[in-house]
């Protein structure tokens, strides 16, 4: 292996991998920061010294950690070829690999670990892949290796968790959750199982449960990898615990300054808390590190939309939509595209993209509001009302949906529901002029004229306090109602 390998007394060095020399107490030392460019140099040593399989995996992992994925795969290829070859004593051994390592009782579990590592490598690569055909091929390779591992050890926790994560990456939440529950039964307190379950719970909307699982991992390992802190950050942010989320994002970036997900999460927190310049700096850094990251593209699209730079916002959202296979990310991207068209008064295109967003992720509420508005433009009150009621089923105190649903019920002469929705809107937003005006209109044609008058008076008072002009029509309504109620002195 050239200068990177040498004989040395048997010892333990964290920056080196030691290969025992057969028939002696010496080892070949290979420093991990001097791994040969030609992976065959390492293979030759491992084969010559009949190195155990766990050493093959250690070298492969070191290459992988250095970003040399092809070296990782090439190093393990000879072992795969042996595993595919028929054993000379086929009545005793499944393949040539297990025949060659038959004296090592750990050979089978170590080879299972190698298969899981290969599967995980293909899974990680495919998850980042934006080309759909390459992504699919990567997932198929991962599944092949997980299946091979399970043929050797059906209950191996690494294989079960890995296959569940593969299903999550493919969007099959139900099957992933089922596999993880099975894994948890066999491997209680297993950190990879807990992490995968936390991820599945988060994707399924059980954010509080996901956060509990991440905390359980912390209890088992107080110094976990950055990815665990990232999970805690996102669950905390989703639960509105922004101070905890910020600390977690910042700690992730201390450990890994180039973590795109942490930069994006922190950037969103900064923007939401009014520190737009700092937030955009984080998002800009994330975009520079990974220009095609869909989550970052969506965040930037939102920023440029709010600034009124609609073409830039649309371009970024379209890229996010094309690059992602995640239904939730695609739904957000479609929503951004829809509201750009909405703002540009291209209602036909807005309707198309709001509809697409609602199909991608039916539980994502913002597109339903835009979709309802587009149905109103098309004078389709029934479908518009369905959109607003869908929002209210998930978020009963959504003021905008309450107002528009109330208005539609009033137009349909369903006064009881109109009153219920609009009254709730005024309770939640007592300074919302439109809510008071619509509530007044509902009661204007009923015996409850005093309620209508009170609502009009509140709308006028809000406008006056804000220094805004009270419209002549509102004064007319106030005067007419006061006259009908016999308040002639104030009617004028």
Mean pLDDT, rounded, for 336-350: 97
| Residue percentage of the chain with pLDDT more than 90 | 57
**pLDDT band at 309, cuts 50/70/90?**
very high
Residue 452 has a pLDDT of: 87
Res 10 pLDDT > 70: no
CA 442 to chain centre: 43
Res 487 pLDDT > 80: no
Mean pLDDT, rounded, for 251-255: 93
Which residues make Cβ contacts (< 8 Å) with residue 403, sequence separation at least 6? 421, 422, 425, 432, 434, 435, 438
**pLDDT band at 387, cuts 50/70/90?**
very high
Residue 178 has a pLDDT of: 84
Mean pLDDT, rounded, for 246-254: 94
Beta strands 16-20 and 5-9, pairing class: unpaired
Model pTM greater than 0.75? no
Using CA atoms, how far apart are residues 273 and 206, in angstroms rounded to an integer?
Answer: 25
Using CA atoms, how far apart are residues 471 and 159, in angstroms rounded to an integer?
Answer: 69
- Comparing 34-38, 297-301, 443-447, the range with the smallest average pLDDT is 443-447
**pLDDT band at 482, cuts 50/70/90?**
confident
Q: Please tell me whether residue 351 adopts helix, strand or coil conformation.
A: helix
From residue 263, how far is each of 146, 179, 296 by CA, in Å? Answer: 32, 32, 9
Res 14 pLDDT > 70: no
Res 51 pLDDT > 50: yes
Most confident of 11-15, 168-172, 308-312: 308-312
How does the average pLDDT of the chain come out, rounded?
89
What angle separates helix 132-152 from helix 107-128, to the nearest 10 degrees? 170
| Residue percentage of the chain with pLDDT more than 70 | 95
């Amino acid at each position: 292996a050239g200068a990177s390998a040498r004989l040395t007394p048997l010892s333990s060095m964290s920056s080196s991998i030691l290969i025992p020399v057969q028939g002696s107490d010496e080892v070949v030392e290979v420093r991990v920061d001097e791994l040969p460019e030609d992976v065959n140099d390492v293979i030759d040593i491992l084969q010559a010294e009949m190195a155990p399989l766990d050493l093959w995996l250690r070298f492969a992992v070191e290459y992988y950690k250095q970003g040399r994925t092809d070296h990782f795969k090439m190093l393990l290829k000879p072992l795969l070829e042996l595993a595919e070859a028929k054993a000379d004593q086929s009545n005793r051994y499944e393949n040539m690999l297990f025949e060659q390592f038959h004296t090592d009782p750990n050979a089978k579990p170590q080879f299972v670990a190698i298969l899981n590592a290969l599967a995980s490598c293909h899974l990680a690569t495919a998850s980042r892949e934006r080309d759909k055909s390459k992504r699919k091929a990567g997932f198929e390779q991962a599944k092949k290796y997980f299946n091979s591992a399970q043929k050797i050890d059906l209950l191996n926790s690494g294989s079960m968790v890995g296959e569940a994560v593969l299903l999550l990456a493919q969007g099959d939440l139900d099957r992933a959750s089922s596999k993880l529950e099975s894994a948890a039964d066999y491997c209680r307190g297993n950190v990879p199982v807990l992490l995968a379950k936390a991820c599945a719970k988060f994707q399924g909307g059980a954010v509080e449960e996901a956060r509990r699982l991440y905390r359980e991992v912390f209890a088992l390992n107080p110094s976990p990898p950055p990815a665990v802190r990232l999970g805690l950050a996102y669950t905390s942010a989703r639960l509105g615990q922004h101070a905890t989320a910020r600390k977690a994002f910042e700690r992730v970036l201390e450990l890994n300054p180039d973590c795109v997900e942490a930069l994006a999460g922190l950037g969103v927190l900064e923007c939401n808390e009014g520190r737009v310049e700092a937030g955009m700096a984080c998002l800009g850094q994330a975009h520079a590190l990974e220009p095609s990251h869909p989550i970052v593209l969506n965040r930037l699209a939102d920023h440029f939309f709010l600034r009124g730079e609609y073409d830039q916002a649309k371009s970024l959202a379209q890229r996010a939509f094309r690059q992602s296979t995640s239904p939730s990310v695609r739904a957000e991207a479609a929503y951004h595209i829809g509201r750009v068209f909405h703002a540009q008064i291209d209602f036909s295109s807005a309707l198309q993209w709001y509809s697409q967003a609602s199909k991608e992720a039916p539980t994502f509420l913002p597109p339903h509001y835009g979709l309802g508005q587009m149905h109103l433009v098309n004078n389709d009150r029934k479908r518009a009302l369905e959109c607003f009621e869908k929002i209210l089923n998930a978020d009963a105190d959504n003021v905008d949906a309450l107002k528009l649903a109330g208005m539609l019920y009033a137009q349909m002469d369903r006064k009881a529901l109109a009153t219920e929705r609009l009254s709730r809107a005024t309770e939640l937003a007592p300074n919302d002029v439109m809510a008071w005006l619509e509530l007044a209109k509902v009661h204007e044609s009923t015996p409850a004229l005093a309620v209508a008058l009170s609502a009009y008076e509140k709308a006028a008072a809000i406008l006056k306090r804000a220094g805004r002009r009270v419209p002549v029509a509102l004064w007319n309504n106030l005067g007419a109602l006061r006259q009908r109620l016999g308040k002639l002195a104030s009617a004028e």
